[in-house]
Amino acid sequence: MEAVDLELMRAALAWTGEGRRCWSATVLRTWGSAPRPVGAMALLCEDGRVAGSVSGGCVEDDLLALLRADATGLDAGRRLVYGRSDAERARLRLPCGGTLELWAEPAPLSDFEQVLRFIDAGQGCVREILLPDGTSGVRAAHAGDASALDEAQGRFTQRLGPRRRLVLVGAAEVSRYLAPIARTLDFEVVVIDPRREYLDGWPAQIPARLMADMPDDALAALKPDASTAVVALSHDPKLDDLALLEALPGAAFYVGAMGSLRSTEARRERLALFELAPEAIARLRGPIGLDLGSRTPPEIAVAIAAELIQCCRAEETRQRRAAAAALEGGADGCRVVP
C-alpha cells in the first residue's frame, strides 16, 4: 500500500470529522497505458479538496465536477469508465490508448478505520467489495492476495498494507536508518538480534517487530517467502552467517550482507564450508546496496533501500510481461462496462 493511500484514509476520517461529505474512487481495472495501478485510490471532499490519485489529476477534476452537479448520484457505489474514445482520452489527457474503470462511493469510513488498525499493527489486509450491492468488508491478507477484479463473482479485491517484508539481522546503526525508509516503501520490518543490549536500545519511535532469537531460529519461524528480503547488518560474522545459511536456500527475493568486496568473498568461502549449494551462495548480494559512493550509516541505508526498489520493480516488470504473454496466448480480452 502506498503511503499516499494511507494518508488518504486518515484524511477521510479527519474531513468527515469536520462535518464534510467525502467520496472515494478506486481503480478497478485498466486497459492500455494507465497512470495509476489497479487498487489506487483518490479521496474527494465536497469542498474541493483531493487526496491521492487515480489518474494524475484530470479524472479527479471530472469526478469533482460530477459531484458538484449531482452529489446524490454517488450516494451509493457506482462504476465509471474513463477513456472510452480518443476524444475523451485527449480531453482527460490520459496516456495513449489508456482506459480505466473506477469504483466511486461515499468514503467507507468503517472500512478505513479497520484498514488503519491493520496497518498500524504492521499487518497487511484486504478490502473486498461486492459490486452489485456495494457492500464491503476488511480481513487479514493471505498469501497470494492481490488487487484484482473478479467480474464473474462481481467482486473487487483490494490488497492493502505492507506487501513485502524486510528482515534486518542486527539492531545496529544502519538498521535504525533503514527501517523507517523501508516502512515508507511498503515493507513490514522485522529486526532480529539476540544481543539484548542492541535490541533494548532500539528506538521506540521506529515501528518494527523485534525478535531476540538467534537469527537461524528466527528465520526458520518467519519462513521467508518470495515477498521477503533478508539483510544481515549485525557486524558479527557468526550472527550474519547463521542468517545467511538459513535464508539463501529459501525463497526470499533478496538476501544480502554488509561488508567490503574482500569480506564478502571471505563470507562466500565460509558458507561453502557448510556445504551450502553453489547456486544458493550465488544468490548472496554483497557488498549490498547500489554503488552510490555511500560512506555514512544513513547513506548506506539509502543505497540498500535503492537496491531493494530496483529488485522489486524488476520483479513487477517480469510479472507484467508474463501476464501480457498469457493474454496474448488466448485470452478473449476485456469488455468495457457500458
Average pLDDT value over all residues in the chain = 86
pLDDT of residue 89: 58
Q: Specify the pTM.
A: 0.62
pLDDT-wise least confident of 68-72, 100-104, 130-134, 160-164 = 68-72
pLDDT per position as a tens digit, 34-50: 667 889 899 999 888 99
pLDDT at residue number 300:
96
* 4 pLDDT above the threshold of 90: no
Confidence band (pLDDT; 50, 70, 90) for 88? low
Contacts of residue 173, defined as CB under 8 A and 6 or more positions apart, other chains included, come to 297
Q: Look at 40-44, 70-74, 158-162, 264-268 and tell me which has the smallest mean pLDDT.
A: 70-74
Q: Is it the case that residue 238 has pLDDT exceeding 50?
A: yes
Residue range 222-236, pLDDT digits in tens: 988 888 999 999 989
Q: How many helices (H) and strands (E) does the chain have?
A: 11, 14
pLDDT for 251-272, tens place per residue?
A: 899 999 998 999 999 999 999 9
CA angle (113, 187, 325) in 5-degree steps? 100
* pLDDT of amino acid 63: 85
Q: Are 33 and 19 within 8 A, CB to CB?
A: no
Provide DSSP, 150-203.
ETTTTEEEEEES--EEEEEE--SHHHHHHHHHHHHTTEEEEEE-S-HHHHTTS-
User: What is the pairing mode between strands 99-106 and 22-31?
Assistant: antiparallel
| Grid cell locating 181 | 525508509
Residue 214 has pLDDT above 80, yes or no: yes
Q: Averaged over 322-336, what is the pLDDT?
A: 47
| Cell numbers given for 78 | 457506482
Question: Domain coordinates of the chain in residue numbers?
Answer: 3-114, 164-314
Q: Worst-scoring range by mean pLDDT, 55-59, 124-128, 311-315?
A: 55-59
CATH number at 164-314: 3.40.50.720
